[in-house]
Structure 1
Amino acid sequence: MHNCAHSEDAGVECAVNVRLAGGSNPLRGRVEVRLSNGTWGTVCDDYWDIREANVVCRQLGYAKATSSIQRYGGGRGPILLDQLECTGEEKDLFRCQGNRVGVHNCAHSEDAGVECAALNVRLAGGSNPRRGRVEVRSSNGTWGTVCDDSWDIKDANVVCRQLGYAKAIGAIQSYGGGLGPILLDNLECTGEESDLFRCQGSRVGMHNCVHSEDAGVECADPNVRLASGFNLLIGRVEVRLSNGTWGTVCDDEWDIQDANVVCRQLG
């Protein structure tokens, strides 16, 4: 029971002072940063290179950047950072050398962008983002598939957790449809590994399979989501009961500890 109205619905914002905007996917976009007073603005592309882009992508939870994009453009509001000279090791763009915040000689046509490296697992060929053929990336950057020999729910759970879902609801044999190399075979995960490459199995590239045997998964719908936000990182918290009903959370005693639980559930 509760004593709340929907005006008291709780919300969170995750991943604090940097975001990507205006991109065709979550890995690419215009870099926008937020001041401590809540103001969002853009970054000028003077001196912008892969070192600055790496800082952004690591802040967003990716391993590194694949490109730094000059003249991404399209921003509004203040231009907050200019002439950054990062080493690439900083935890935050605001820790890089550069002009004082708000000092610049730029227009929004010069807004900087990045493209971040994806995780080393992805789902392809599915009818929704939670279902598809499992594709993994080797250390040399080559993407390939996983053979379904010994493929079961424990292996699928590893994939789904890597992708930010709580668990798998299906391990699909003979999903098929892949191209390129078959990189993993005979996997025997416990289900607790952080990465498919940490599971027991054949050496990378060793297999006796064809692409009709490519493995697939279906991941569970998360039981928490953010709604009505202007990006994926902010919004009203909504949770789902075991019967599939979605509802909201009252903000009585809502604080950063509660918000941290939500953001960790969302990956």
Structure 2
Amino acid sequence: MMKRLMFMLYIISETCIVKSHNTGDLRLIDGLQENKGRLEIFYNDTWGTVCDDSFDNIDALVACRQLGYCSGFVIRSPFVNDGNGTIWMDDLQCNGTENSLINCIYQDSHNCGNHEDVGINCDIACPQTGDLRLTESVSGNDGRLEIYINGSWGTVCDNGFDNIEAVVACRQLGYRTGTVIRASLIYDGSGTIWLNNLDCDGSESKLINCTHNYLYCAHYNDVGIQCFLNNPSEDHGNLRLIGGRNENEGRLEINLYGEWGTICDDLFDNIDASVACKQLGYCTGTVLKSQTVADGNGTIWLRNVGCLGSEMKLINCSHESYIRDCGHQDDVGIQCNSTCPATGQLRIIDGAQEHEGRLEIYLNGAWGTVCDDYFDDIDATVACYDLGYCSGQVVSSNLIVNGLGTIWIDDLTCFGIEVRLNTCKYTSNSNCRPSEDVGVRCSAACPTAGKFILKLF
């Protein structure tokens, strides 16, 4: 009986043991590793979160030290899973010497939501002078470049920083190569800007060994880099079409650094599509509507592509390679054409029926649109006659889907006797926007005998 009673008391005592927490204790939640995640603080006997307003790397350093790490940096709220419950701290300001986050200056009233919960990434090993890290990363291999000097992390100025310096930094971080990310795409850092006017010859094993100085620079000039495990191969910049109904259409993918990935449709127009199609061995091309393109996977390599139309490869067009706000639902698709249109050839696009829609013309090796300034039914009839119909009329621009690419023709004036639209009088210097793209509705029926059209000047 006594043994049974003692056993029951043991079970009860074990069950009732509850780990106690003290006011100001911290923890990291919902991170991929135990040293990173959403920052939470124990206050008023309840775990809650910390708002990211004014929270910087000095505050992250204090929090990480309290958690038993050596240092750390902020993870911006868009990259942190939202918490729930009370937000205990706002407008936190530490000077870096505090032993506990609760000893820093802060507001306990706030105007934040849980979508602003801050996260931190703590360094497991204490950094050494000259060590590098990437912060504010989208994919883990990119972000703002920071260097550890004089016992604290700081940033690097983009003055003189080019791809040679990026390669040296990426090699130091364990990658094979890398490129610069424009400062305008990088979140501003905080603390000291340790290096300026870097000049590497490419052989250095550490960035700090490159020539540099400590002249003044501002945080809006903090440099970022994107690193890659593979060097560019002979396939670098190759294209392919995936998931289309036919081999000449589908989601456009590009091979960079040995990996196939997709292209964001931001600013991607028919000129860009034509360059891609010519690289693929076709003559010209057009952009597909995004809802008809199957979502891809892997890396989104390019965004804001801007081709002139003369490039031999899409990778030679201006573009951004640091992607923050595109998802695979934004993957671009194209349709390529083997037959080259003749200069001045017309087509009708994006209409409810094949004989009505936005009017486009092929000039200078690319499809473009026609502005609706001065465009009337006489001009529409000439366009429709050019397309093989007998007559036509203008469709109001507010009923037309906006086009992409160049607006080739403005202030068009036809007499009504022309057989080709591009023989009418027009100006090629347009001041129009895509919202002014003209549409036409063509008819196979010819005007009643005895009727005629006349444009007076």
Normalising TM by the smaller chain, what interval? 0.3 to 0.5
TM (normalized to structure 1)? 0.40
Structure 2 length normalisation: TM-score?
A: 0.24
Higher RCO structure (Cα 8 Å, ≥6 apart): 1
